[in-house]
Structure 1
Amino acid sequence: MDPIRNPYAPGAGSPPPELAGRDALREQVRVCVERLRHGRPAKSVLMIGLRGVGKTVLLDQMRRDAEAAGIQTIRMEAPEHRSLPALLAPQLRLALLRLSRVDSAKDLAIRGLRALAGFAGKLKVAYRDIEVGLDYEPEPGLADNGDLESDLSALLEQAGQAARSAGTVLAIFIDELQYVPEPQMAALISALHRCAQLQVPVAMIGAGLPQLRGRMGEAKSYAERLFDFPALGPLAQADARDALVKPAHSEGADIEPQAVDTIIAQTEGYPYFLQEWGKHAWDMAPASPITAADVTNASREAVAALDENFFGVRFDRLTPSEKKYLRAMAELGPGPHRSGDIAEQLGRPVQSLGPTRANLIAKGMIWSPTHGDTAFTVPLFDRYMKRIMPGQAWKHDEA
């Protein structure tokens, strides 16, 4: 099998050759933005799911879908140590500049750029990482109070009015939304709520880890009425099969049904893992069709690649005490697990582990499905922890 023609694409946000099982969500977002374009109310869409379920890939495809339909989009990823205003300001500037080239929206877009100048100028004191080019002088009294919640509402309202005049929608695509600090999240929710009240066509299409829904509810109690939170999980059997078989067929190759079943069993249908196993099975197979024996031979390479990249980069960010906490979770299985059971594995009082647990949640490694429960945000991470910290010596290591 020619490795140059290998169709599988494991990678952070790399588009798979076959985006299987996500058509319903793409349609949900399409309907959302088209309703807004027609002046009808619609809930913004925030996808939640574990690592490796394809949130970033789907978010980018939804953006391409929207742009193909003439929607004005901006795209950003919320890192752990950068403010929301710093992310939004340069992207909103680009959107407003594009809208200013539309005759029907020119005046409103220019007013939006004046609002942006006031927004950046006043908030730069509180958010020093804001860096944005200013094309017009600020308009006194427009988005320049120095209060993020009111200023962001005014700014998005102006941008939305310009989009409406251009016969389009401003669609804000944000990845890793769970990393936005709560006060900034509250301001964003409030601004989107105000746009909805004024029937201004602004939508947010976001993606984040499962804790996102709870964090947004804590930021603003009405958030669950403002957004839809579709959950992304592993692919159904038929969709997982398509994700493996169709790319091989596109290159004139085949993969035996038993080989497909073996990969699905190994990966539990998670899209990223399907791509990893597919890639290594293709490279291992001497010729078409890819057999179950090829998949078995490729599994060692697939696991090693995951350990070095997908799992390893997350493990390397952890402190010794955090590693030990996750190893105790792994000892109990995939999860979720009660905090008391994890503490028992570690021989520690539950209360003493609170800071470690909080740090792991902040790093996006675990989340709490229900009060007192703890689960991995990374699929199959329990298996990895047992490979990287085998045996029982970890119980006696100093953390």
Structure 2
Amino acid sequence: MNPIHNPFAPGAGTPPPELAGRDAVRETVRIALERVRLGHPTKSVIMVGLRGVGKTVLLDRMREDAAASGFQCVRIEAPEQRSLPAILAPQLRIALLRLSRNDQAKDLATRALRGLAGFARALKLKYQDIEVGLDFDPEPGLADNGDLENDLPDLFEAVGVAAREAGTALVLFLDELQYVHEEQLAALITALHRCAQRRLPVTMVGAGLPQLRGQMGLAKSYAERLFDFPEIGPLPDDAAELAITKPLHDQGVVIDGGALHAIVVETHGYPYFIQEWGKQAWDAARASPITAADVEEASKISLAALDESFFRVRFDRLTPTEKRYMRAMAELGPGPHRSGDIADVLGRNVTSLGPTRGQLIAKGMIWSPNHGDTAFTVPLFDAFMRRIMPGADWRS
């Protein structure tokens, strides 16, 4: 079949042709945002899940929906090596400049822009990566103390007052939230809490790895009362089938029942893998219908493609010691695994492996579902580790 018309799109954050199985969480967020706009008490939403479940795609679709409904949207991805103020300030400036075009909110938006100027200048010494255009001189005493946990709530409050006057809400869409440092995460939670207490229309829709729930609680003990944490997991079988059949149907192509079942089984319902298998099955098929033999051929190519991209990118970030730790986990299977069992495979004691485990959690490679348990954040990574480090040489 013509590869030009292949509808499937494996890629980091690439929107799939059919966003199946996510209607419930999209509706939850839609209702939350409308309540915030009206000033009703509402929790912010943080989606948590493993790699490859489509959190980024879902976050972007929610942002598009919100923007179409008239919300002021800020889209941020938290990188590992930059501060929250540095990535937040430029996006807040854009949102405030948009608000300043509203006649009713102009003066309040201008005041918030003055607050942003003071915020950036006061924190520049501590967070030297802050680079933002300043449109007005600072207003003395507004968000300019140089203390993030004091200044960010003041700044959010000023933004919220302007958004309320404009009849809208500011919505922060933050991806990879687990990379925000604890002190900065605490300031963000405090700022959102202030807005919630004063019923100002400022809220957040975030996404991150499963450990984010624990990180939020450590940053601020009341975080569990301020946020909802819907878990984004693999698609149920019916949604996974729809994610495959609908794009094919739109191109006038059908797939045999056995072939469809094989893709669902091989991908375990993970959206990223569905896109990879769908792409390769299309390319392997000579004509419609796509058969089980086509999927069998596609599976070999899909695994090779994942090994060289999705999996390999993460593997290459690891030190030799970290690779051995994850290979020991893979020896035990998909997981989760007790830390003591991993230590036994490595012939080490648990305490000595603590720093390695901590580094892997910080890199987003593993997480702890329960105390003493360790699990991969990347689906099917155990099989990859056995392929990339076969035999027993890794033990030495």
Measured after TM superposition, the shift of residue 252 of structure 1 is 0.7
Identify the residue that residue 11 of structure 1 maps to in structure 2.
Answer: 11
Identify the residue that residue 117 of structure 1 maps to in structure 2.
Answer: 117
Structure 1 segments of 4+ aligned residues over 3 angstroms from their partners: none
For 2:296, give the aligned amino acid: T
Identify the residue that residue 157 of structure 1 maps to in structure 2.
Answer: 157
Please give the alpha-carbon distance, in whole angstroms, between the structure 1 residues aligned to 2:162 and 2:120: 19
Please give the alpha-carbon distance, in whole angstroms, between the structure 2 residues aligned to 1:264 and 1:327: 26
Tell me how large the CA RMSD over aligned residues is.
0.5
TM-score norm. by structure 1 comes to 0.99
Residues 1:348 and 2:338 are matched in the alignment: no
Identify the residue that residue 383 of structure 2 maps to in structure 1.
Answer: 383
Measured after TM superposition, the shift of residue 391 of structure 1 is 1.5
Please give the alpha-carbon distance, in whole angstroms, between the structure 1 residues aligned to 2:338 and 2:247: 41
Residues 1:360 and 2:360 are matched in the alignment: yes
Q: Which runs of no fewer than 5 residues in structure 2 stay unpaired? A: none
Measured after TM superposition, the shift of residue 193 of structure 1 is 0.2
Q: What CA deviation, in whole Å up to 9, does each residue of 1:124-147 have, x standing for no partner?
A: 010000000000010000000111
SS, match of residue 104 in structure 2: helix
Identify the residue that residue 290 of structure 2 maps to in structure 1.
Answer: 290
Measured after TM superposition, the shift of residue 395 of structure 1 is 1.4
Please give the alpha-carbon distance, in whole angstroms, between the structure 1 residues aligned to 2:251 and 2:171: 36
Identify the residue that residue 139 of structure 2 maps to in structure 1.
Answer: 139
SS, match of residue 281 in structure 2: helix
Please give the alpha-carbon distance, in whole angstroms, between the structure 2 residues aligned to 1:112 and 1:256: 58
SS, match of residue 309 in structure 2: helix
Measured after TM superposition, the shift of residue 244 of structure 1 is 0.4
Please give the alpha-carbon distance, in whole angstroms, between the structure 2 residues aligned to 1:64 and 1:50: 23
Q: What CA deviation, in whole Å up to 9, does each residue of 1:272-300 have, x standing for no partner?
A: 00000000000000000111110001111
For 2:50, give the aligned amino acid: L
For 1:266, give the aligned amino acid: E
Please give the alpha-carbon distance, in whole angstroms, between the structure 1 residues aligned to 2:166 and 2:257: 51
TM-score norm. by structure 2 comes to 1.00
Please give the alpha-carbon distance, in whole angstroms, between the structure 1 residues aligned to 2:62 and 2:112: 25
For 1:200, give the aligned amino acid: L
Identify the residue that residue 198 of structure 1 maps to in structure 2.
Answer: 198
Identify the residue that residue 51 of structure 2 maps to in structure 1.
Answer: 51
Residues 1:280 and 2:273 are matched in the alignment: no
SS, match of residue 231 in structure 1: coil
Q: What CA deviation, in whole Å up to 9, does each residue of 1:12-41 have, x standing for no partner?
A: 000000000000111111101100111111
Identify the residue that residue 225 of structure 1 maps to in structure 2.
Answer: 225
Please give the alpha-carbon distance, in whole angstroms, between the structure 2 residues aligned to 1:35 and 1:384: 44
Please give the alpha-carbon distance, in whole angstroms, between the structure 2 residues aligned to 1:169 and 1:28: 17
Measured after TM superposition, the shift of residue 257 of structure 1 is 1.2
For 1:246, give the aligned amino acid: K
Measured after TM superposition, the shift of residue 150 of structure 1 is 1.1
Identify the residue that residue 371 of structure 1 maps to in structure 2.
Answer: 371
Please give the alpha-carbon distance, in whole angstroms, between the structure 2 residues aligned to 1:2 and 1:252: 12
Please give the alpha-carbon distance, in whole angstroms, between the structure 1 residues aligned to 2:343 and 2:139: 57
Q: Which runs of no fewer than 5 residues in structure 1 stay unpaired? A: none
Identify the residue that residue 310 of structure 2 maps to in structure 1.
Answer: 310
Identify the residue that residue 103 of structure 1 maps to in structure 2.
Answer: 103
Q: What CA deviation, in whole Å up to 9, does each residue of 1:274-331 have, x standing for no partner?
A: 0000000000000001111100011111001100000000000101110000000001
Q: What CA deviation, in whole Å up to 9, does each residue of 1:228-276 have, x standing for no partner?
A: 0000110000000000000000111111111110011111000000000
Identify the residue that residue 73 of structure 1 maps to in structure 2.
Answer: 73
Identity %: 71
For 1:223, give the aligned amino acid: A
Q: What CA deviation, in whole Å up to 9, does each residue of 1:61-84 have, x standing for no partner?
A: 000000010010000100001000
For 1:11, give the aligned amino acid: G
For 1:360, give the aligned amino acid: L
For 2:314, give the aligned amino acid: R
Alignment size in residue pairs: 396
Please give the alpha-carbon distance, in whole angstroms, between the structure 2 residues aligned to 1:366 and 1:330: 12
Please give the alpha-carbon distance, in whole angstroms, between the structure 1 residues aligned to 2:257 and 2:114: 60
SS, match of residue 103 in structure 1: coil
